[in-house]
Amino acid sequence: MVLLEASTLHRIPRVLSIAGTDPTGGAGIQADLKSIAAMGGYGMAVVTSLVAQNTFGVRSVHTPPAHFLIEQLEAVSDDVTLDAVKIGMLTDAGTIAVVRDWLRQVHPPLVVLDPVMVASSGDRLLAADAETALRELVSQADLVTPNLPELAVLVDEPVAEDWPAAIEQGKKLSTASGTIVLVKGGHLSTESSPDALVDVTGRIGSASESVVEFIHPRVTTKNTHGTGCSLSSAVATVMARTGDWADAVRQAKNWLQDALTHADELEVGHGNGPINHFHQLWAAAHTLQHNQDSSTP
């Protein structure tokens, strides 16, 4: 089902990432910009936090003053027509409030929220007041993309232990917020890696359809750093171009599967390295160069 009017779609979507940084380039705004470009969009970035991290983990986080975040947001929206906004790491309640107020003023046509709330270690990243503020922000997004620990926090339940339980939590969140939920099953110990669009109002398919599933084989690699950031940015970009949620997730998932399959080729860092955002582009360029060389007398 098409959500966006044809007049709002753009051949080269202008997509703004609002998120933290990753100096090794695998997550945060660096991953967002790569994903947006890989999906055919023009990426922009507003920094919510400066993060000292590498492929082994986060060392420290510096949050700039709220007034500077406001200045960044206004500098972009005063000048550029936005086709989509992807929101990632929001460090505290004050940061969330700034983004919330800006969304209400600007009314971007498409908002995707990746709720960064739980570290891979299982540690909670936000204070209680910030978690409450982020739950409220979900209702201002068109799509929210939690992993299973984050989904559990958003519905205030234990982490789902199987896929049917995860789908049910997705339905609860969609019902409570009025937002489409992309439930991600990467944390499950299964051979496949399932994801599902969940919406209780029929915006993702027929009026009676509330769940659209996407099943891919699990890729054997430790290099998965930034997967959530990358997927949400990719979905936002394709959605701004096509206006179809199921198609946007399908395209983004196929691209991500390929990026994971070829992640080990990058050899970036000694911990959990990044996915290969540009493998398809580089492979096409290599093929083109090979064909040109072969045709040269």
Distance, CA of 207 to chain centre? 26
Residue from 28, 224, 253, 273 carrying the catalytic annotation: 224
Task: Return d(Cα 96, Cα 94) in angstroms, integer.
Answer: 5
Residue from 170, 229, 243, 273 carrying the catalytic annotation: 229
Residue from 25, 43, 228, 273 carrying the catalytic annotation: 228
Residue from 20, 226, 243, 273 carrying the catalytic annotation: 226
Task: Return d(Cα 169, Cα 157) in angstroms, integer.
Answer: 8
In the sheet with 143-144, reading across from the earlier edge strand, the strands are: 57-62, 42-54, 14-20, 84-87, 111-113, 143-144, 180-184, 192-198, 211-217
Residue from 86, 184, 185, 253 carrying the catalytic annotation: 184
Task: Return d(Cα 274, Cα 259) in angstroms, integer.
Answer: 9
Task: Return d(Cα 200, Cα 209) in angstroms, integer.
Answer: 8
Task: Return d(Cα 223, Cα 201) in angstroms, integer.
Answer: 36
Question: Is 269 annotated in the active site?
Answer: no
Evaluate the CA torsion angle 231, 233, 238, 244 in order and state its sign: positive
Question: Is 224 annotated in the active site?
Answer: yes
Question: Is 184 annotated in the active site?
Answer: yes
Residue from 21, 48, 227, 237 carrying the catalytic annotation: 227
Phi, psi for 266 (deg, rounded to 5): -75, -40
- Residues belonging to the active site: 184, 224, 226-229
